[in-house]
Each structure stands twice: as structure tokens, then as C-alpha cells.
Amino acid sequence: MAFSLSKVVPWGRSLAQYRGMFSLTDADLDRRILGCADGPASFNAEMMAMDKRVTSFDPLYQFSISEIRQRIDETADEIIRQTRLHSHTFCWSDEIPTPEALAENRLASMNRFLDDLDLGRSEGRYVVAELPSLPVEDGSYNLAVSSHLLFHYSEHLSEQFHLDSVRELTRVASEVRIFPLLELGGQLSRHLDAAIAMLASLGKSATVETVDYEFRRDADAAGSVIPLQPPSLTISDTSRTWKCPALGQRHVAPTLDVSLDSNCQRSRFACVSE
């Protein structure tokens, strides 16, 4: 099915937010980075301004600046309204204290992206492409990052799509980081175990790691909040099972190193090709 702009709810994040979501160090920023599903984030534009190179892949880039701007204008008010409605499910901070400040922050990132889009397209930094298949040679990148698509839309995107997409990302990059691991409803993705097991079957290692970035609390669409749990993660070295207090006992394939923060919303998934 053709990708439709009317299905996109544009909401782009900044370089600082990417650094938080993916624990990107200064050294990471000098790696050859692929951003998958970067959409209207200003990550690429801000990296370019620092003389660092990211190539972003997203079907959104087939549209013109005015088409994307129009879609942002059509959807922004509704997103802000929803954010106000569910404001108790967000972790507000000095940097972003209110839904209005959030909107301002996201719109600033998206404007920065739009200002960079034509130049970036001509330089090959914004590429029209769609998971589960990327037009990239094996191992072309040192690091692939992807936020707010895989695992987040688990209800809408099938397990097979997730397996194919995660496999594809590990084909094109030697390390892959994905955030968040929570579905829209706030629970750990139903596809995570299958993705980890698939990677293990390919001899690739995978970890679930805690990051500093935390903006949404565990929350479901109705706005209820699942209380944050005290740390009570258990890991058994022999059977390699782990237990998340919020989710109960879960199992992963042998030979994997798995750790999980008790506040699952702050975890990202990382996999390495070898």
C-alpha cells in the first residue's frame, strides 16, 4: 500500500532528545550514522550544523516542504489538545514544563528540519525509503538509530514487519539502537522477545539498556498511569530469564545478555551484528 501523508502525525525531536534516547556520546556522533524513521526530527539538520553526518531514511521525504508543513499545521492543535488531556502521563521538566512548551519545542525542531530539507535532499542526507527494506549496501553504517516507530506501534505493525525491519537494520549497520520499547499503550512491546530471539538465531547479540531520557510515563490511551515500580529486576545467569516487576516473568533465548531497568519506559533496545 502506498505511503500516505494523511496517516502521518508529524512530531519531530531534537538532537538533544536523540542524544538522550540513544545515549549518544560525543564519540558516537562521529560515527557513520543512519537515522531510520527520522521524519521531521531536527537530528540530521543539527548534526550537519556541527559538521557531522547523518543519513536519514523515511518515506516522508517524498513530499514537498509545503505539503509537510500543511500536515504539521493540520495536526499540531490536536496533538497539543491530547497532550493537555493526558498531561499527567508526561514527565515535565524545567526544559519542557507544559504542553504549550512541548509544542513550541517540537515545532522548533520541525521548522529546523523543514529549513534543511531541500539542501539535505540534494546532498543525499534525506532519503525516501521504507522499512523493512532500505536501499543500502550491507554494513554501510557504524550505527543505526530509530525512534518512535518500531516497537512503539506494535499494535499496528505486525511481528513479521518488526522481525524483517530489525534484521534489515542489523544488515546495514554494525550497531542498532531503537527507542522506545513501549507500545503506545505503555506496555513493553509484544514483539520484543521475538526480535531478540530472531537476532540470537542469527548469532547477533542484543541487549535492553536503560537510558536517561524519560518523557512519557507508562500510560495507556485512556490516560491511566501505571505506577513506577521499585527496582526488583531479577536475572538468572543459568536460565537467562528475567523478571520485570511491571510485566511478570519473561524468557529470552539462551546466550543473550539481557538487563532491564525496572522503569521499562526508559529502556532502549540495542543490537550488534557480530
Ligand X SMILES: C[S@@+](CC[C@H](N)C(=O)[O-])C[C@H]1O[C@@H](n2cnc3c(N)ncnc32)[C@H](O)[C@@H]1O
For β-strands 143-147 and 33-36, DSSP reports them as parallel
- Select from 34, 31, 32, 41 the least CA-distant residue to 10: 41
Nearer to ligand X, 86 or 258 (CB): 86
- Binding of ligand X by 130 (CB under 6 A): yes
Report d(CA 244, CA 264) in Å as an integer: 8
* Whole-angstrom distance, CA of residue 102 vs CA of residue 100: 5
The grid coordinates of residue 243 equal 523478571
Binding mask 230-259 vs ligand X (x if CB under 6 A, - otherwise)?
A: ------------------------------
Question: Closer to ligand X at the Cβ: 171 or 252?
Answer: 171
Residue nearest to ligand X (CB): 39
- Tell me the site size for ligand X, rule CB under 6 A: 17
Distance CA 225, CA 219 (A): 5
Q: How far is the CB of 259 from ligand X (least distance, A)?
A: 24
- Strands of the sheet containing 175-179, edge to edge, are 126-127, 54-57, 33-36, 143-147, 175-179, 267-272, 205-210
User: Residues 76, 128, 149, 163: which binds ligand X (CB under 6 A)?
Assistant: 149
CA 215 to chain centre: 13
The stretch near ligand X (CB under 6 A) out of 58-66, 203-211, 212-220, 253-261 is 58-66
Exactly one of 46, 58, 168, 183 binds ligand X (CB under 6 A); which one?
58
Binding mask 168-207 for ligand X (x = CB under 6 A): ----------------------------------------
Of 6-14, 69-77, 215-223, 227-235: span binding ligand X (CB under 6 A):
6-14
Q: What are the φ and ψ backbone dihedral angles of 271, each rounded to 5 degrees?
A: -135, 150
Q: Which is nearer to ligand X, 41 or 246 (CB)?
A: 41
Give the 3-state secondary structure of residue 187. Answer: coil
Q: Which is nearer to ligand X, 13 or 125 (CB)?
A: 13
